[in-house]
């Protein structure tokens, strides 16, 4: 297939640059992942690796397969073929619940926060602290821990008791990221987290991504915002019609180069 010819790939996280003793097993890996919808191949033979503390950008035109890949990585969609590995161990995710148990959290653009619930309730949704024989919700503890989590990430929300529906889009994204961090996730998958956000809010999510990566969480960031992708990501994986055509190290590429790969123009150049 033409798309594979002239493709450019690099070792994940730059093996040569990795400090001695650093992890060499990816936190999360996709091998030869293919997903078909009828006659449409949304993904074909996709390989992806995410190392601890690495931010991997996944970019491509509309319909290139980015969201399909994220959905497969979190178990919302099953691959037609290929395999997933967590810490080098083959896994099968039947639902996002399975992937969450392995420390993988996903944040979608239209993410699933319950707008009627408070910020603290959202952060603890499905993992509530309870007290005593009657298993009464320990709201004070949840509020305290939610506050600590937001504070540690410098997320400004006036009260964790505020109804989530009253927050801005950016604040909601931040709460979703905080939730993932609080639960000690190993990998954070972000599918266009900043698409609907204003400049400042989008910057904030960018800072959160960097902060999370410093804590050795691996991040997969899907975005159409090329300057942000280039600024935040250690590696940028380019999908073109469901195939990986380039795997670029940040220091070896720039926004214009990435765009050439996205459009396919770089294929005829190389
Ligand atoms: N549930 C589905 N049923 C049928 N086809 C689908 C389904 N989900 C995705 N596809 C197809 O798979 C291809 C990849 O879609 P996907 O949503 O992964 O693209 P994307 O890269 O996320 O695009 P965008 O940038 O617009 O979000 C598209 O051709 C799409 O129409
Ligand atoms: Mg998408």
Check whether 213 has a pLDDT greater than 70: yes
Q: Which residue minimizes the CA distance to atom 1 of ligand 1? A: 37
* Terminal C-alpha separation, the chain: 15
Predicted TM-score (pTM) of the model is 0.85
Using CB atoms within 10 A of its CB, is residue 212 exposed (0-12), middle (13-18) or buried (19+)? buried
Number of Cα atoms under 13 Å in the Cβ half of residue 59? 29
pLDDT exceeding 70 applies to what percent of the chain? 89
Three-state helix/strand/coil letters over 83-138: EEEECCEEECCCCHHHHHHCCEEEECCCCCCCCCCEHHHHHCCCCCCEECCCCEEC
Higher pLDDT, 199 or 130: 130
Averaged pLDDT, 35-42: 95
Using CB atoms within 10 A of its CB, is residue 79 exposed (0-12), middle (13-18) or buried (19+)? buried
Averaged pLDDT, 204-228: 90
What gap in Å lies between CA 73 and CA 154, rounded to an integer?
Answer: 28
- For 56-86, the pLDDT digits (tens) are 999 999 999 999 999 999 999 999 999 999 9
Q: Which of 10-24, 167-181, 222-236, 252-266 bottoms out in mean pLDDT, i.e. has the lowest?
A: 10-24
- State the virtual CA torsion across 262, 30, 12, 173 in degrees, nearest 10: 70
Q: Which residue minimizes the CA distance to atom 3 of ligand 1? A: 37
Q: Residue 184 — pLDDT band, cuts 50, 70, 90?
A: low
- Which of the ligands is closest to the CA of residue 77? 1
Rounded to the nearest angstrom, the distance between the alpha carbon of 177 and the centre of ligand 1 is: 24
**Domains delineated in the chain:** 24-269 (3.40.50.300)
pLDDT at 125 (0 to 100): 82
Q: Residue 157 — pLDDT band, cuts 50, 70, 90?
A: confident
pLDDT at 83 (0 to 100): 97
Higher pLDDT, 168 or 209: 209
Q: Which atom of ligand 1 is nearest to the CA of 239?
A: 21
Higher pLDDT, 9 or 258: 258
Contact in structure between 174 and 205 (CB atoms under 8 Å): yes
- Which of the ligands is closest to the CA of residue 58? 1
Higher pLDDT, 148 or 84: 84
Rounded to the nearest angstrom, the distance between the alpha carbon of 130 and the centre of ligand 1 is: 40
Rounded to the nearest angstrom, the distance between the alpha carbon of 97 and the centre of ligand 2 is: 21
pLDDT at 270 (0 to 100): 64
pLDDT at 263 (0 to 100): 95
Averaged pLDDT, 39-65: 96
Grouping H, G, I as helix, E, B as strand and the rest as coil, residue 32 is strand
Q: Which atom of ligand 1 is nearest to the CA of 69?
A: 18
Cβ < 6 Å from ligand 1: which residues? 37, 40, 42, 60, 62-68
Check whether 23 has a pLDDT greater than 80: no
Q: Which of 36, 42, 62 to mutate to test the pocket of ligand 1 (most atoms within 8 A of CB)?
A: 42
Averaged pLDDT, 46-59: 97
Task: Provide, for the chain, the percentages of residues in helix, strand and coil under a 3-state DSSP scheme, each rounded to the nearest 5.
Answer: 35, 25, 40
Averaged pLDDT, 146-153: 86
State the average pLDDT for the chain.
86
């Amino acid at each position: 297939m033409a798309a594979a010819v002239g493709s450019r790939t690099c070792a994940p996280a730059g093996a040569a640059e990795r400090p001695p003793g650093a992890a060499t097993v990816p936190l999360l890996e996709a091998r030869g992942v293919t997903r078909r919808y009828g006659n449409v191949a949304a993904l074909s033979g996709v390989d992806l690796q995410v190392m601890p503390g690495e931010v991997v950008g996944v970019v491509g035109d509309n319909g290139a397969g980015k969201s399909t890949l994220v959905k497969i990585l979190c178990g919302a969609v099953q691959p037609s073929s290929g395999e997933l590995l967590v810490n080098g161990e083959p896994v099968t995710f039947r639902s996002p619940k399975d992937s969450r148990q392995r420390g993988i959290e996903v944040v979608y653009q239209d993410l699933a926060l319950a707008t009627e619930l408070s910020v603290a309730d959202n952060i603890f949704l499905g993992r509530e602290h309870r007290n005593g024989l009657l298993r009464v919700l320990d709201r004070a503890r949840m509020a305290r821990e939610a506050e600590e989590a937001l504070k540690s990430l410098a997320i400004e929300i006036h009260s964790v008791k505020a109804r989530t529906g009253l927050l801005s889009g950016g604040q909601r994204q931040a709460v979703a990221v905080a939730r993932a961090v609080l639960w000690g996730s190993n990998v954070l998958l972000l599918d266009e987290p900043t698409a609907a956000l204003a400049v400042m809010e989008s910057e904030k999510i960018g800072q959160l991504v960097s902060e999370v990566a410093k804590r050795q969480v691996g991040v997969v960031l899907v975005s159409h915002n090329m300057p942000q992708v280039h600024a935040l990501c250690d590696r940028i994986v380019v999908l073109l019609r469901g195939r990986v055509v380039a795997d670029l190290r940040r220091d070896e590429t720039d926004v214009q180069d990435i765009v050439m790969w996205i459009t396919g123009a770089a294929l005829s150049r190389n």
